[in-house]
Amino acid sequence: MSEDRLIIFDTTLRDGEQSPGASMTREEKVRIAKALEKMRVDVIEAGFPIASVGDFEAVQAVARSVKDSTVCGLARALDKDIDRAGEALKGANSSRIHTFIATSPIHMERKLRMTPDQVVEQAVRAVKRARQYTDDVEFSAEDAGRSELDFLCRVFEAVIEAGAATLNVPDTVGYAMPHQYGELIRQLRERIPNAGKAIFSVHCHNDLGLAVANSLSAVINGARQVECTINGLGERAGNASLEEVVMAVRTRADVFSCTTGLDTTQIVPCSKLVSNITGFPVQPNKAIVGANAFAHESGIHQDGVLKHRETYEIMRAEDVGWSQNRMVLGKHSGRNAFRTRLEELGINFATEEELNAAFASFKSLADKKHEIFDEDLQALVTNQGIGAENERIKLIFLKVCSETGETPNASLVLSLDGEERSVSAEGGGPVDASFKAIDSIVESGTELLLYSVNNITTGTDSQGEVTVRLERGGHIVNGQGSDTDIVIASAKAYINALNKILAPSDRAHPQGNV
């Protein structure tokens, strides 16, 4: 790769998944990975294989499905983590192991309870072990933003010697200021004797809203890999947003002496897919991918844009994939056309029964909504929950009555652990009544943290996409549901969230105690 190429390392499937409630199934990860591959992302971090059997299988499935991007697995600097990552990545065309250990005084003393010498020794050992699986090894100094410069230089020099090709400098807690962080990268490149043998990478969190600014400052100072996520998803306030980094580098080519290899027209479709799967809506004023990012409300702006686009627009909406909304299927489309389009979107059905069930849902959607877009298909598949046949709760029937001056009422039939139960309940509105009816059967003891409705496409016949976030005993999940009827979409979303919270989870967090 030439010197002026900026490597885009996407960690939506790993750090993005660490957002409370954003966990994804294996099939969902494969769909997102295929979309990232289509966008020509260089490296896809698919997960943390040792976290659980499900995480291992998800990384393995991504490794087997993606051909053009490098697939990466995260591992703490521990033999067992590295072996698990190496195993999960076996089927990949091109694989990377990303191993890390904390280097800041506070993390070494309080979390790891290790001396600096022990940390260097463990880092070197981890890189050497990872090299037994792949030539492409990345080393991260966790909490580099608060680490001592001399110590960072020492660790990085040692891991380059041990075979690391990429050195990642995470601002794990989002503490850095752009000028300091840029300077840190410059100093590291100047002071480490073998720095020329490795690529410097940055990984910034957004706690102070500076993740993108810090990443860009690092790029100006010679970093040649940026770790980022779609929609800025990620732990706490999130990671640097891929779309903002990529479009800043492209739009301000006068400032950055590097380019990415991305097909930027895939940005908006990918953003919508991630939002649909994780249930994290995109705020309307979000740069690049927000619904208002290219909308001109004030008359003065509209007039200017109509006369000459560049008076108020620095990018073209079509360059980031807006206005790609085209009808792909309709009422008369057959099973083959349906299957082919889904395969193009990275969705493959394991069995004919799954395909038949999804096709039946498509037909009933096409009866209500004549033009079907890719976003509708994505939502339909998310709704269908491929691989979710073991879910405990299923919605069989729902009827709501809502009229002026009367208390709304919902009657429904649910299947809970295979047994059908009927109930009706009243509520402040039809959604409230439906949720109360579901609660009276499931008695989950959860707290509702968020309820939001968005339209998937435009027009009043659009499907409503509902997100429900629930919490129980510190465990947070997001549920999604979509339908042209938003009350049904809401019930589906609530049931989806309940199914997730009722499923046992044994996942380890990569940055928890070792």
- The residues binding Zn ion (CB under 5 A) are 15
Q: Between residue 452 and residue 511, which ones bind ligand KIV under the rule CB under 6 A? A: 510
Decide which of Zn ion, ligand KIV, none touches 140; Cβ closer than 5 to 8 Å per partner kind: ligand KIV
Q: Which stretch binds ligand KIV (CB under 6 A): 54-62, 120-128, 166-174, 268-276?
A: 166-174
Using the minimum distance from each CB to Zn ion, give the nearer residue, 15 or 55: 15
Closest approach, Cβ 101 to ligand KIV, in A, equals: 10
Q: Give me the residues paired with residue 393 across strands.
A: 416
Please state the three-class secondary structure of 163-221 as a single string. Answer: CCCEEEEEECCCCCCHHHHHHHHHHHHHHCCCHHHCEEEEEEECCCCCHHHHHHHHHHC
Task: Quickly list H helices, 323-393.
Answer: 335-344, 352-368, 374-384
Q: Name the pairing type of β-strands 225-228 and 7-10.
A: parallel
How many chain residues interact with ligand KIV (CB under 6 A)? 10
Using the minimum distance from each CB to ligand KIV, give the nearer residue, 193 or 209: 209
Using the minimum distance from each CB to ligand KIV, give the nearer residue, 203 or 492: 203
Q: Is 107 in the site for ligand KIV (CB under 6 A)?
A: no
Q: Between residue 169 and residue 198, which ones bind ligand KIV under the rule CB under 6 A? A: 170, 172
Using the minimum distance from each CB to ligand KIV, give the nearer residue, 80 or 363: 80
- Cβ atoms of 338 and 381 within 8 Å: the answer is no
Residues 6+ apart with CB under 8 A from 86: 73, 97, 130, 132, 133, 134
Give the closest residue to 246 by CA, choosing from 320, 172, 322.
320
Q: Give me the residues paired with residue 71 across strands.
A: 44, 95
Residues 6+ apart with CB under 8 A from 510: 14, 18, 48, 51, 74, 76, 100
Using the minimum distance from each CB to Zn ion, give the nearer residue, 240 or 466: 240
Give me the sign of the Cα torsion angle 368, 374, 379, 380.
Answer: positive
CB atoms within 10 A of CB 307: 8
Decide which of Zn ion, ligand KIV, none touches 142; Cβ closer than 5 to 8 Å per partner kind: ligand KIV
Using the minimum distance from each CB to ligand KIV, give the nearer residue, 174 or 269: 174
Expressed in percent and rounded to 5, the helix, strand and coil fractions of the chain are 45, 20, 35
Q: Between residue 15 and residue 54, which ones bind ligand KIV under the rule CB under 6 A? A: 15
Q: Is 142 in the site for ligand KIV (CB under 6 A)?
A: yes
Q: What angle do CA 14, 19, 21 make, to 5 degrees?
A: 110
Closest approach, Cβ 18 to Zn ion, in A, equals: 7
Among 56, 100, 338, 349, binds ligand KIV (CB under 6 A): 100
Using the minimum distance from each CB to Zn ion, give the nearer residue, 231 or 409: 231
Closest approach, Cβ 15 to ligand KIV, in A, equals: 5
Q: Which stretch binds ligand KIV (CB under 6 A): 78-86, 165-173, 182-190, 259-267?
A: 165-173
Using the minimum distance from each CB to Zn ion, give the nearer residue, 15 or 37: 15
Decide which of ligand KIV, Zn ion, none touches 156; Cβ closer than 5 to 8 Å per partner kind: none
505 phi/psi in degrees, rounded to 5: -130, 135
Among 140, 266, 382, 484, binds ligand KIV (CB under 6 A): 140
* Distance between CA atoms of residues 445 and 206, nearest Å: 33
Closest approach, Cβ 12 to ligand KIV, in A, equals: 12
Q: Which stretch binds ligand KIV (CB under 6 A): 51-59, 167-175, 314-322, 396-404?
A: 167-175
Residues near ligand KIV (CB under 6 A): 15, 100, 140, 142, 168, 170, 172, 203, 205, 510
